[in-house]
Amino acid sequence: MTSTVFCVGGDLEVRRLGFGAMHLPTEPGPARDASLAVARRAVELGVTLIDTAYLYGGGANEELLTEALHPCPEGLLITTKVGVARSDSSGEWRLDGRPAVLREQVEQALRRLGVERIELLQLLRIDPETPLADQVGTLRDLRAEGKIGRIGLSEVTVGELNQAREIVEIASVQNRYSLLDREHEPVLAACEAAGIAFLPWRPVAWGKSGAKAEVASVATELDATPTQVALAWLLGHSPVILPIPGTARIDHLEEDLVAECLEVTPVHRDRLDRLTEVV
């Protein structure tokens, strides 16, 4: 039977099927009120892993989660990401992994989340203009200072992951991955071999799974939705996969979490395993 829990970093137990907060509107008004309700409902339903980032609204998404959930219930992990900044001249986002920037963004995240330590802090991307050792080394130093509990990476290659692991323990990797998009299968394999949590972003290919006739057929046969099938496939594909589907609707949230109980038969899984398409 597929395990429903995973210990991030070997010691922090979370429910494998988490929630991605990126799609939650943060502007004042009814949409924000609905976002608060979705975040609270996720926790009510037993979600213990919620993913956010400074990039999502320049910290507004983190503030939304704090308003909805602070003080966080025991056992709830809110993981956030740093390593991007807005250009002063154009206002556009760009990668920025300079040590001073990472330090400042971690301090801001601590304030916005209302915590003294971020239990899992992930680097949004490797900044090609800053040595990887400087970026990961800064996070290692912040961990030593007690401001970070565990360190994760995002959108990395196997080589970058190995290079980072020579500097500090890596607890998680967050790469794009789904039933229809397995470009990063080698990275997943490396994570599985090392016991590193793999958090696929865009885990249901932006809802495109249902457009595949084979996925739709399996969903019909299992009396499920294509999204549920895609999530159940991920949970069964590797024990280190922690999907973080996102939605701004409570009914979709509730449907997503049912995937944890969906029994995908070996025959159905074989049919799904043969599907792959980079999207």
How far apart CA 55 and CA 176 sit, in angstroms, is 16
Stretch 31-43: mean pLDDT, rounded?
98
The torsion defined by the Cα of 136, 140, 141 and 145, in degrees rounded to 10, comes to 150
**Helix or strand holding residue 227 (H, E):** helix 226-237
Of the candidates 240, 154, 149, 235, the one whose C-alpha atom is nearest the C-alpha of residue 196 is 240
End-to-end CA distance of the chain: 30
pLDDT category at 2 given cuts 50, 70, 90 is: confident
Given this model, what pLDDT does residue 181 score?
Answer: 93
The more confidently predicted of residues 212 and 110 is 110
Give CA separation, 83 vs 104, 171, 181, 252, in Å. 10, 17, 25, 30
H/E run at residue 84: strand 84-86
- The rounded mean pLDDT for the chain is 94
160-183 pLDDT, tens digit per residue, is 999 999 999 999 999 999 999 999
Exposure of 128 by Cβ count < 10 A (0-12 exposed, 13-18 middle, 19+ buried)?
exposed
Tokens 């025959």 sit at which residue? 267
CATH number of 5-208+239-262: 3.20.20.100
Cα 38 to Cα 74, 112, 200: the distances in Å are 19, 19, 21
List, for residues 222-239, the tens digit of each pLDDT value.
Answer: 999 999 999 999 999 999
Find where tokens 């008004």 sit.
29
Give pLDDT, residue 207: 57
Catalytic residue among 6, 54, 56, 177: 56
pLDDT at 210 over 60: no
What average pLDDT does the segment 254-259 reach? Answer: 96
Whole-number pLDDT of residue 278: 46
How far apart (Å, rounded) are the C-alpha atoms in residues 98 and 100? 6
Vertex 260: Cα angle to 259 and 264 (nearest 5):
70
Best CA proximity match to 122, nearest among 42, 24, 54, 47: 54
pLDDT of residue 92 exceeding 90? no
**Percent share of the chain, pLDDT over 90:** 91
Q: Rounded to the nearest 5 degrees, what angle is found at the Cα of 165, between the Cα atoms of 175 and 79?
A: 45
Q: Give 183-207 pLDDT, tens digit per residue.
A: 999 999 999 999 999 999 999 875 5
User: Which residues does 43 contact at the CB level (< 8 Å), separation at least 6?
Assistant: 69, 73, 76
- Determine whether 54 is an active site residue: no
The full set of domain ranges for the chain reads 5-208+239-262
pLDDT band of 87, cuts 50, 70, 90: confident
Which tokens hold the place of 207? 């809802």
